[in-house]
Chain A
């Protein structure tokens, strides 16, 4: 008697499974969003995922692209190469059409050969390693963030030409993003042929309890400018220590620091900090709407790389709309040729995959806000 009951249950269970499986197939465009959604770098991957959701919600609310809704398939890679390949193969197995993501250069480098083999277009909001675009081995890779050498060149020019620094201390967080930037700044300052000297080059452990000794060492080196490659939590710790020691030294950093979170974390200590990033379009209605939508849906301010990810998703959506297909070559061609209005400006991508149109400029914190510094580079 019991056996029969069980058979019944099994039958019902199996039937439900199979019926649910049938309901699964629907005509959608599949957008893969891999990135660091958990782990210690989640703060840089989750904002990109949020941005993708907002853009896709908006597009779907308008009826999708040519009648097809976009479906997001998110995969977590914790910024680890091996999980990057797992996420990539998972997305490929799920038949994604386009990919917006991989947060870190490391995971991107591990995953790109797989996407390239399957001819999938990848647009990353935050992978900055120069070789990704410059090696030429990944023709379908694009990014909405400048490569380390472009940003490093801007930083070096700014330090040498605008700040006219004599003694520079360069500090990085030992990550691929921060150290890459720091190394390029060092290289370009050395190449500049001016009397700007690098008096200090070292790394710090991200998440460390106290960075006072490092600041003390920099102070002792007599540097008048600190260039920091890394993210905002460490940067704000550094400037807080500098403030309490009443150190008057220029602090120059990059995109990883130019974020609202830095202003909040550093507070008054953040005043006067320089950070390079893409030109500010926060006055655009589109950008305002994006921020408002984020605050409404996630009840928090957008995080790091949100704008870049938003722009990347917009560019993808635009390319899909213009081509009307999900053919990778067509999408890539559209990304290279069609200008699109995004939250980081009117952009397209060059042959290598870097952004054209989004200008990267230097900002300074003035009265708790990032304000663009008028600075013309001498060629």
Chain B
């Protein structure tokens, strides 16, 4: 019963802690004081229940022993297989239905229905799947065979090249026709998520692979977006458009990455982080300032080239300031005239294509010579140098390549929203991209993709909760980290050891290979 006492004390603590903020309300109207005792009661009961679950989950994660959590009785009880099954059933049932209860309690039935409407594809599928998961889980627990067979099947498929190809084909067959079945909103937010997958994978090169903590990644994203917006303003016509600016945006972002990496080559860890944060802020302030002096660059160019430039490039460049730049066209498709819906669909396909290219490129890069040198740099800078890896090249290339993808993402972002202003490129965006990478699983491609989907789609799917949505978003970020600190789908450490030669003599082994 010590567990109950402990939970009771925890709930008392939280009631006291939240008391001034949650119970007392100073009216902005006349400075009068309102007392909301019902909130304290709610928090007390909520914390009492959650504290049990919290400790039980921490024990399961291995961060506590049952003794430390005062939950010995629970885990002793759980040692019996039958009880385990009951617990699992109860847990899953609660787990599946708590979101429903929550939605109902917050938004009432109507809010819940609206959310269902929004989530037709998402939640209902997830809830139904979760309910099926309970069957499977129950079955696996009982016989262990049925579940095991399924798991084994998945493993085998993933292991064989043919199976993997089959999985990719199946995935594509699911993903490609998607925009023709969903409404434009779903297409739109999935395109957002795809752009964020690209950003996440780009940042993953720097943070996950090379181990350089960057907090100003959004600056490169902004470079890409503004390249397209400004370029389109001055040069855009029916021939020069999205497809021209896509590589240019990538290249300019790459250049920005190289520029940034020079001063930070000497810095380590968090000093690097703060300098990149500063860089991001500087870029944003320049964008807000609204103009950029081009004279330092122009003075390097021959006069004939400068004179050939349009008037707006002769001296200072107008960046639009806080009013932003609008009228950015959607990507073109062989000069065809597309309706708005088709354009949004096209953005989806472009985003999908670029994401696939990114995934292929990133996974190739990881196994390349460069990728290996990044891994070495990440694990130990000194040992890496001692091994004869050029640290400068490795860092420069990590920054350049990482930034390049942000540039592509930025160009696509500008095309997708058709209007950009500096408010899309704040520090919060940088922090969110980093969260995508860490939350999904550092250095894991599928993990980063999942992270992007969770962090971009979660606030969208929580829309029906309206004012509670960012609260829950913040809380779920903490929870996901606490219970899965290694990320949702962490990368498996690649183990490639030299084959241990035991019995067979050398010549025989050579023959076998």
| B466 in contact with A76 (CB, 8 Å) | yes
Q: Roughly how many angstroms separate A84 CA and B421 CA in the complex, as a whole number?
A: 12
Q: Roughly how many angstroms separate A3 CA and B131 CA in the complex, as a whole number?
A: 11
Q: Is A264 an interface residue (CB 8 A)?
A: yes
Q: Roughly how many angstroms separate A129 CA and B320 CA in the complex, as a whole number?
A: 13
| B419 in contact with A109 (CB, 8 Å) | yes
Q: Which residue of A lies closest to B189 (CB)?
A: A86
Q: Which one of B116-124, B254-262, B499-507 contacts A?
A: B116-124
| A109 in contact with B139 (CB, 8 Å) | no
Digit string of B401-445 for contact with A (CB within 8 Å is 1, else 0)? Answer: 000000000000100111111011000000000000000000000
Q: Roughly how many angstroms separate A17 CA and B139 CA in the complex, as a whole number?
A: 25
| A81 in contact with B419 (CB, 8 Å) | yes
What's the least CB distance linking B359 to chain A, in Å? 23
Q: Is B326 an interface residue (CB 8 A)?
A: yes
Q: Roughly how many angstroms separate A6 CA and B86 CA in the complex, as a whole number?
A: 12
| B324 in contact with A106 (CB, 8 Å) | yes
* Neighbour of A89 across the interface among B131, B185, B290, B418, CB < 8 A: B185
| B184 in contact with A2 (CB, 8 Å) | no
Digit string of B11-29 for contact with A (CB within 8 Å is 1, else 0)? Answer: 0000000000000000111
Q: Roughly how many angstroms separate A89 CA and B183 CA in the complex, as a whole number?
A: 9
Chain A residues with Cβ below 8 Å from B460 are 86, 90
| B184 in contact with A89 (CB, 8 Å) | yes
Chain A residues with Cβ below 8 Å from B85 are 2
| B27 in contact with A300 (CB, 8 Å) | yes
- Interface-centre pick from A2, A20, A74 (highest chain B CB count, 10 A): A2
Chain B residues with Cβ below 8 Å from A21 are 113, 116
How many interface contacts (CB-CB < 8 Å) are there between A and B? 146
- Chain B residues with a Cβ closer than 8 Å to the other chain, count: 59
| A174 in contact with B288 (CB, 8 Å) | yes
| B466 in contact with A74 (CB, 8 Å) | yes
Chain A residues with Cβ below 8 Å from B89 are 2, 6
Interface residues of chain A, those whose CB is within 8 Å of chain B, are: 2-3, 6-7, 9-10, 13-14, 17, 20-21, 23-24, 37-39, 73-76, 79-82, 84-86, 89-90, 92-94, 105-106, 109-110, 113-114, 117-118, 129, 131, 174-176, 179-180, 203, 261, 264, 295, 299-301
A13-B96, A92-B183, A179-B321 known; 15 new pairs, CB 8 Å cut-off, are: A7-B135, A17-B127, A20-B113, A23-B113, A81-B417, A82-B424, A86-B189, A89-B344, A90-B185, A110-B419, A176-B421, A179-B290, A179-B322, A261-B28, A299-B27
Cβ contacts A to B, 19 pairs, < 8 Å: A2-B85, A6-B89, A6-B138, A9-B134, A21-B113, A24-B113, A24-B116, A80-B423, A81-B424, A84-B417, A85-B418, A86-B460, A93-B186, A129-B323, A174-B322, A176-B323, A179-B323, A203-B289, A299-B34
Interface residues of chain B, those whose CB is within 8 Å of chain A, are: 27-29, 34, 85, 89, 93, 96, 109, 112-114, 116-118, 124, 127-128, 131-132, 134-135, 138-139, 142, 183-189, 192, 288-290, 321-324, 326, 339-340, 344, 413, 416-421, 423-424, 460, 463, 466-467, 469-470
